[in-house]
């Protein structure tokens, strides 16, 4: 495959034992995916399939929108990484009532000290 990101998607599909890759990028995936018995379909085709193997019913536009929103949230969490962790640590005392973490530790209610996530 020409794009490293495409290779990661294909690798995840193979290792996750997926049956299908849903993508707008059909051209880049069709040949590679066929070697692993993976179907490649567009999002519109996937939504129009009569029965989803996961839901055992057709996907509605609302299902597709909910799924897309969940994927965007997961991607944002992964991409933000340390900035997301720092923001969480900053609001932790005011939003949860938990004590603010001290430098180099994350203090829970049990009083035990836990190392912070790497910066």
One digit per residue, the tens of pLDDT, for the chain of length 119 reads 777 778 888 888 888 888 889 899 998 898 888 899 999 998 888 777 767 666 677 777 888 788 788 888 877 777 777 777 777 777 777 776 666 666 555 444 444 444 444 44
Measured distance CA(41)–CA(34) in Å, rounded: 12
pLDDT on residue 110: 43
pLDDT on residue 40: 93
| Residues in CB range of 59: below 8 A, 6 or more apart | 46, 47, 49, 52
pTM: 0.48
> Which residue is it, tokens 């299908």?
20
Radius of gyration of the chain (CA): 20
What residue spans define the domains of the chain? 1-59, 60-100
pLDDT on residue 98: 65
């Amino acid at each position: 495959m020409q794009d490293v990101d495409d290779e990661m998607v294909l690798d995840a599909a193979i290792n996750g034992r997926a049956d299908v890759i849903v993508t707008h990028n059909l051209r880049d995936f069709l040949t590679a995916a066929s070697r692993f018995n993976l179907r490649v379909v567009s999002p519109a085709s996937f939504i129009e399939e009569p029965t989803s193997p996961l839901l055992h019913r057709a996907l509605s536009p609302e299902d597709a929108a909910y799924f897309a929103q969940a994927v965007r949230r997961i991607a944002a969490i992964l991409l933000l990484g340390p900035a997301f962790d720092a923001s969480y640590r900053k609001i932790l005392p005011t939003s949860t009532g938990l004590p603010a973490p001290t430098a180099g530790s994350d203090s829970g209610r049990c009083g035990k000290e836990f190392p912070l996530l790497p910066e």
